[in-house]
Chain A
């Protein structure tokens, strides 16, 4: 049975370096997975499909409009 010599130490250092290199993509994977999601607006203004020749800018929301449409 061989003993732990300085050669074994060098081999161990080299193998640990190789092991770390092997794990870099997995670190990147974990990093991507645990990154908080991109901030998105809670609600975006709904594009209007109606056009009016007399009033180009949209007026106040009607009282019967759903809350999500008036929240922004």
Chain B
């Protein structure tokens, strides 16, 4: 028997009280000049949003956020898929390998940021290793150079989250019927043809989940960036999240920070909605 709809009402009311109402009330500050202190503020309309368009730091943060989201999503999904295919094969150490690749996920992002900051320091282990291998010309100030800082942060985020993508793909791979793959094998399909024509359609739900999680996670990325570079040097690795923190809590521009947060929310909604619709269409067509 289907339960009556009004069973949902207490849960919905609770959700509205602790999530929806505070979010809407907080968003209203984006249209004021409130500094975060005191009770007095004035309505300024869309001035904060106009300031975002005129602010070089905000434009740089938006660009960095989009680059980071694209690179991290692509890297995480590609590497996760390759690792899942690898540990789903007949290799004897596949169970140990799954643990090894998943291990970074259980480390707190803050801690992994500090460890990587230690490894990527100018006198850190990576440069020492490159020097030992005779590759002194490859040594860089990985976190202090405006050219390398954002890429270093991307690499660390990919390292941290690839294990999750691998697990989701692995679950998808284990749901592929073995007899279908064997039938394709008997029909003479090679490994790439078997993957593309047989395995890939079964992995579409895993792709959808992975894409959503990776894009939303990358767009909201804060802690690793803040720990490793603090958004620097200059604004070279600033993301929208780190800029919100700096503006709202360091510079006392609360309303500007809220406006940036609204921009980030719109980005997350539009991009994840677009990719979800795209994957749904791909799922229906296959």
**Which A residues form the contact surface with B (CB < 8 A)?**
1-4, 8, 11-12, 14-16, 18-20, 22-26, 28-29, 32
Q: Is the CB of B104 within 8 A of A26?
A: yes
Q: Is the interface of A mostly helix, strand, loop or mixed?
A: helix
A–B pairs, 23, beta carbons within 8 Å? A1-B90, A1-B178, A1-B182, A3-B90, A4-B92, A8-B89, A12-B92, A14-B86, A16-B97, A18-B86, A18-B101, A19-B100, A23-B103, A24-B119, A24-B125, A25-B115, A25-B116, A25-B159, A26-B104, A28-B118, A28-B125, A29-B111, A29-B115
Q: Is the interface of B mostly helix, strand, loop or mixed?
A: helix
Contact partner, B97, options A2, A4, A19, A24, Cβ 8 Å: A19
**Besides A16-B93, A25-B119, A29-B107, 9 other A-B contacts (C-beta < 8 A):** A2-B90, A8-B91, A15-B91, A18-B83, A20-B100, A22-B159, A25-B112, A25-B115, A26-B103
CA–CA, A44 and B119, complex, Å: 33
Contact partner, A11, options B91, B104, B182, Cβ 8 Å: B91
CA–CA, A28 and B125, complex, Å: 9
**Which B residues form the contact surface with A (CB < 8 A)?**
83, 86-87, 89-93, 96-97, 100-101, 103-104, 107, 111-112, 115-116, 118-119, 125, 159, 178, 182
